[in-house]
Structure 1
Amino acid sequence: MSSLPLSVRSSDEVASPLFLPLPEKRIVVGCGGVCVDFLAAVSAYPKPDTKIRCSSLKIEGGGNCGNALTCAARLGLNPRMISKVADDFHGRALMEELNAEGVDTSYFMVSKGGNTPLNFVIVDSQTNTRTCIISHGNPPMAPHELSQEILLSALDGSRLVYLDGRLHETALAVAQEASCRKIPILIDAERQKEGLDNLLNLADYVVCSTKFPQAWTKAPSIPSALVSMLVRLPNIKFVIVTLGEDGCIMLDRRVEAEIPELEEKDVDSVVGLLRQKIDGRNAIPTCIPSKSVMRLKADGIGMVNGRLLVGTAEKIPASELVDTTGAGDAFIGAILYAICADMPPDKMLLFATQVAAAGCRALGARSGLPWRTDPRLAPFLC
């Protein structure tokens, strides 16, 4: 796993007066998955019992939490990561790569035996899809390995905690301590996992994959599922569902708007109207927000006071689209930065979409992640 020169990696390098100041509190703590990605790009997914040559091959760090924190570090945050690797070649290389990116790995657990998690990724250049074969690390991380002293040190001075749903017992210990200390928590709800419900009950923000909201709530549509999530999770400030090339939807709760004059609207109808305002010819990301806070209802589920925002994805030319691996992690890394920078919701969605699109222009989850100085990010950071 190669790394770029350290001279371009400092989060404080942005001395140019064109850039907005970095967030005052920019320490974020992540707990979750890290692995080595073996990525092979092929012209088409191989048929059973055949051989095929790859057009390109890359070995680099992966894992949801590792990817998202690498993205956050490149944008200017100071991430600390809690995870576990083995004391083998892959584990040492992973920690070296993360440290070079500006992710503090001093809170890692390192087992003397066993193996570091590996992920084999086949990138189909014909369909722009990727297939992952995951080998979990052994032995798995146990909650007692994270001492109270180490946990308190990791959380000291942190602005935000991010959990990707892996290492769920350890993650719950982190979430409970963060909650006691009034540190906001963002959960990556990629799919239903053991222990995820306990984490969601402590969350302040949730970013979901396309299928999660309906799978978790059994609601008939994505918009109604978002309402259901906020009804069931009263502490959540916002929930975002990413929809791949179809963009994203955000439901932003507005608790202060508890007034009887609020207009009551069906959530599916509002999302439909917002989608009608999207200009399909526009290749750059756009965000269409509802004009005001309203009482959004979903039949048979309930209602919440909030605002809806529908975002579009960047239309990446086929000649530039290389690999979507880690696009969701890049999106979350940008959301972490946006929360620390107090970005308004519409700007937050556009920023995260732009960062995710940049990552899709290179093979692997991390190679294409943009730096804070990337001209494509100038509208958000200058």
Structure 2
Amino acid sequence: MDLMGGIEVVGLGQACVDYLGRVPLYPAEDGKVELEEIHMLCGGPASTAMVTLQALGIKTTFLGSISDDHFGKMILRNLQEKGVDVSCLKVVPGYCSQFAFIAISKSGARTIFWHRGTVPPLSAKEINLKEFPDAKVLHMDGLMVEACIEAATQARALGLTVVLDAGSWREGSREVCALVDILIASEGFADPLVGENTPVEETLETLKSLGPQVVVITQGAKGSVGLGPEGLVRQEAFQVEVVDTTGAGDVYHGAYIYPLLKGHSMAHCMRFASAAAALSCTRVGAQAGIPTLEKVERLLKRGSPPGG
């Protein structure tokens, strides 16, 4: 077994290619609208988080499965160019890799239509975190449930901190949540559990009861709210000129891990992640606006919201 030293964060999940088109307005059903611009860029929850950490100076690896089609080759090349280790990224010939169509409004808000692809997901038996002896954090997007359960189980046995990007509640989510230390969820993730329009404080308590020590809910332009050992923490969003919000949550997840590795508090991690996510919204695409550490620190010093 070849051991890959120096890698601090292991990412497990999806990588994809995004077609992004800016529209002056979103058409009604059976209507049409001309695209003002179009881009073809790489994205994906776990992969974008790893690219974010690489930009911040943290060595990462990405575990997932793609095919050898045009999308897969583009995904692989992008991760390599961004410095993410892909030695355990599985390439399965003859399938379709994941892709998405994304409509971006004038405000920068996005509507996503995505295709999971036909590539077989990683199986539990293909997970071996012992290959990364220096790893401190496992970050998952929860889409490959069996692989996530196995990876989280291994991570706990090895003493890694397990972070989950919880986008949508699906079969197996409860089992995955029980194995994570830090749960960072989208605003609607817990709706199947608590119902819509439930106060965020109640939602946080419900999610924390599933097992995580820390739960954070991201709320887009409203910022984020967290519940952990230090109590309830609210973090406002930093004010920037928004071009496209695609991937902002994924950048938040990756950026949250950076100060976590340094031993900082939940409040500090939320503030750092909020700044990085805001900066990512100043460019089109999930990864084009990912900031360097210097840019994040500059925004933090400027101090948009006080946070916490």
Instruction: Note whether the superposition's TM-score is higher than 0.5.
Output: yes
Q: Which of the numbers 184, 190, 194 marks the counterpart of 2:161?
A: 184
How far is 1:321 from its partner?
1.3
Aligned to 1:169: 146
Aligned to 1:10: none
1:225 aligns with 2:203: yes
| TM-score scaled by length of structure 2 | 0.89
Q: Which of the numbers 231, 237, 240 marks the counterpart of 1:307?
A: 231
Aligned to 1:248: 224
Kept in 2, the 8 Å contact 1:354–1:377? The answer is no
1:143 aligns with 2:123: yes
CA distance in 2, matches of 1:186, 1:217: 22
Q: Which of the numbers 331, 335, 339 marks the counterpart of 2:252?
A: 331
Kept in 1, the 8 Å contact 2:65–2:122? The answer is no
Q: Which of the numbers 281, 301, 305 marks the counterpart of 1:360?
A: 281
Aligned to 1:133: 113
Kept in 1, the 8 Å contact 2:127–2:151? The answer is no
Aligned to 1:277: none
- The size of the alignment, in residue pairs, is 295
Q: Which of the numbers 54, 58, 64 marks the counterpart of 1:73?
A: 54
Change (3 A) 1:142 1:230: closer
Q: Which amino acid aligns with 2:19?
A: F
1:156 aligns with 2:133: yes
Kept in 2, the 8 Å contact 1:325–1:365? The answer is yes
Based on CA coordinates, which of the two structures has the bigger radius of gyration? 1
Change (3 A) 1:177 1:360: same
How far is 1:344 from its partner?
2.5
Change (3 A) 1:26 1:114: closer
Q: Which amino acid aligns with 2:295?
A: D
Farther-moved stretch of structure 1 (163-172 vs 43-52):
43-52
Kept in 1, the 8 Å contact 2:251–2:273? The answer is yes
List gaps (5 residues or longer) in structure 2. 1-5, 302-308
How far is 1:376 from its partner?
4.8
Q: Which amino acid aligns with 2:253?
A: I
CA distance in 1, matches of 2:176, 2:166: 10
How far is 1:377 from its partner?
3.9
Q: Output one character per residue of 1:11-40: Cα deviation in whole Å (capped at 9) or x when no partner.
A: xxxxxxxxxxxxxx8610010011100101
CA distance in 1, matches of 2:28, 2:173: 35
Kept in 1, the 8 Å contact 2:124–2:146? The answer is no
Is the partner of 2:175 in helix, strand or coil? helix
CA distance in 1, matches of 2:25, 2:100: 19
Kept in 1, the 8 Å contact 2:127–2:147? The answer is no
CA distance in 2, matches of 1:247, 1:147: 34
RMSD: 2.0
Aligned to 1:103: 84
